[in-house]
Chains A and B, each alone.
Chain A
Amino acid sequence: MTRHKTRAMLGTGALLVTGALALTACGSGFDDGGGAGGGDDSELTSSDEALTVLIGSSGDAETDAVTEAVAAWSEESGIEATVQVANDLPQQLSQGFAAGSPPDLFYLATEALAGYAGNGSLKAYGDLLSNKDDFFPTLVQNFTYEDEFYCAPKDFSTLQLIINTSLWEAAGLTDDDIPTTWDELADVAATLTTDGVTGLAFGPEYQRVGAFMAQAGGQLISDDGTEAVANSPENVEALTYVKEQMEAGSFAYSSDLGAGWGGEAFGKQLSAMTIEGNWIQGAMTNDFPDVQYQVVELPEGPAGKGTMQFTNCWGMAADSPNQQAALELVEYLTSAEQQLAFSEAFGPMPSVQSAAEQWTADNPELAAFIAGADYAKGVPTNDGISAVISDFNAQLEGLKTGDPQQILDTVQENAEAIVG
């Protein structure tokens, strides 16, 4: 017996020792440079290390364009830089930060900003940019966290109304009928609704329905990010309007029509109108080249014009050993000239004002999108907002049979918990 006991104890001991060893080994394997970087530190690191750029690409066109631009900069500056395409950007970024070896530059979504900025993974370099005054102010607002401008918006998109011109004409509508108010939108949507075609379809999410909230003068969280205003009367009015039109059958969610997103419902002519961003151009050209369409500004709501904007920025890692070079690369990539080249290659709108005029001249049929920059609302950036939004989206799916006030009260409760 004793012999068995000794053995068992020895075994346990060995296992524990191994475990402890393994733990310490792992511990030292990480880069424990937790304190450095972050917001307050305005010093940039500088070395001659090569740069890694991690992007979440929409396709070959984007990958090639970014790779080319980065290669051109490399040649000019003499600093090596490679572009990697992520399969799952948030996951790969998280792994990089946890391991202490993140990419130097990466695409960063607005909703991910607060989380990474809060844990010190990001370098706030916005104020060091030589072209920082050129960015659209609403975009700068989107990437400002706790009063610091973190990263340069790389481009942006807004939502506008897309109209199928042949269905429009078939319904006997003319250019004069293009809706400028909610009532007119409801009327044309009803006119366009026929057997098998719904007047207006869009995705069942805050990222589309939020445009109506903006037109009514509402939003989820106040502009300064300190107050939850989700269940305001304006928002209730917006959701009630959408709900009424859905009940009448002239609005529908793309998912209810069996389409993955608004653009698919529109392209398959399941709906005569949709609310989408400028990415729809590429989708229509590639997947539905025969559908004729035009882009107009969304109608005014009770509070005037309103839409939503979406943007990504060039995030810079606090742990990057060569931030100086990364900053130069960002300045190169966000220059008006380079952004216009990106726009031509894969369609986003330039984030700098100096390129807007040229872009409008190049893309007259898409002018409505860039006009939206003046009045668009961004997605809130508070830490934890993505959980609130996904819960909101989950409830929006049931808007047709739900109660707008009740939905927004839940959102308000969730939003208050993260704003406080």
Chain B
Amino acid sequence: MTATVAAPPRAGGPGRGIRRGEALAGWVFTLPVILILGIFLLAPVLMALWVSFSDWTGRGSPLSANVNFVGLENYAAITVDGGLPTRDFGTSLRNNAWYVLLVVPIQTALSLFLAVLVNRAILRGRGFFRTAFYFPSVTSSVAITVLWLFLFSATGVVNEVLSWLGINGPNWFQDPTGIVHNGLRAVGVTSGPAALTENDFLGISWWDWMAGPSVAMTAFILMAVFTTSGTFMLLFIAALQNLSAEVHEAAMVDGANAWQRFWRVTLPQLRPTLFTVLTLGLIGCWQVFDQIYTGTQGGPSKTTLTPAYLSYSSAFLDQDWGRGAAIAFILFAIIVIFTIFQRWVLRDRPVSKRRARQYQPSQPKEARR
């Protein structure tokens, strides 16, 4: 290592002296990874990109001569044409957006909460709780989905428990009504203002965009929180154990109570982990597929349809391969944009003046007195 750093600049270009062939060796060592990534990652992605701009119908090679370039046709079909494909895509985005909106904050908060609990030195049986909370994460999502279908069936355990509390539980996986709409209906609002019902985006009226996740999707949201919180809890535990006790102690000496210590001292130090957890959560949520595939296949009334599942069904079931690929790339763009946005929100900022003032002892006043 030190030799590399101390190496003198090359005197007469490559190919001479003791460092001859170093570049070649470097390439030879990296070649396997380049090949593997190229063949299994770059090539498929480029091919999918091509398919999304082509009229390939799923027979033979997408690169053969009788596959034509159709420009943005596939993208237009799902975004601006206004027909069934557009409405399906709009519906899937609506469903998934609500899913993300609820799952990401809840799972992040819950996993942080669990991590703080489990991290406390005085807790007895910490190992047991850590394992218990992590357990759902190591179980196959298909198995958990099947379990969930049983738990949330009309006569399932969840409804049985709810009935003890005098609540008549919904028919979870068969109930397509949106929970926001249901809430509004409870206060007597059954249809939205004309401004919302008559204007639409991607073939879905704004009123329907506001429907909230359907009861069926809510069951999936609970499941996602249940299964992923354990994984993120581990990330938070690792981060918490890396925090230096001195800073904490200093805050104690300064008289900060536990609540203040958490929000002002611990949480800011967890920012890198928070970013990781939010990003992973966001990506996972936008890509939700296996639960839908095994559980509901988009039903009831398409309220659990997600872009990932729609992409699969357009391609494999309806033979619209270009459209399926186009959906996948739009999904990719959404994820990238959200991640960049999140990075921007969580960036390291210089301390604002208002915030800085809080840390300034208010000496001038006292001095005057």
Contacts and interface: CB of A to CB of B under 8 A. Distances in A.
B183 interface: no
A119 B59 contact: yes
A225 interface: no
Contacts, number: 119
Interface in A237-282: 255-258
Contact of A417 (B61, B84, B88, B319): B84
The secondary-structure label for the interface of chain B is: loop
A249 B301 CA distance: 22
Nearest to B40: A22
Size bracket of the A interface? 35 or more
Q: How large is the interface on B (under 10, 10 to 19, 20 to 34, 35 or more residues)?
A: 35 or more
Interface stretch (A45-53, A364-372, A380-388): A380-388
B70 interface: no
Given A116-B319, A387-B318, A32 B58 contact: no
Interface in B299-318: 299-302, 315-318
Nearest to A255: B174
A417 to B, nearest CB: 5
B19 to A, nearest CB: 12
Interface string A2-43: 000000000000110011011101110011111100000000
Interface stretch (A94-102, A151-159, A293-301, A332-340): A94-102
A26 B42 contact: no
Nearest to B156: A258
A31 B60 contact: yes
A120 B83 CA distance: 26
Interface stretch (A55-63, A306-314, A391-399): A391-399
B27 interface: yes
A259 to B, nearest CB: 8
Q: Which of B65, B176, B316 has the most CB of A within 10 A?
A: B316
Given A34-B64, A258-B155, A94 B34 contact: no
Contact of B319 (A14, A118, A394): A118
A102 B16 CA distance: 56
A27 B63 contact: yes
A388 B34 contact: no
Contact of B64 (A32, A256, A393, A395): A32
B301 A115 contact: no
A14 B318 contact: no
B46 interface: yes
A80 B83 CA distance: 48
A26 B318 CA distance: 24
B143 interface: no
A414 B66 contact: no
Given A15-B38, A18-B38, A26-B47, A258 B60 contact: no
Contacts of B319: 94, 115-116, 118-119
A91 interface: yes
Contacts of A397: 174, 176, 299-301
A121 interface: yes
A18 B30 CA distance: 13
9 contacts: A22-B39, A32-B64, A35-B66, A94-B319, A384-B318, A387-B85, A387-B88, A391-B88, A414-B83
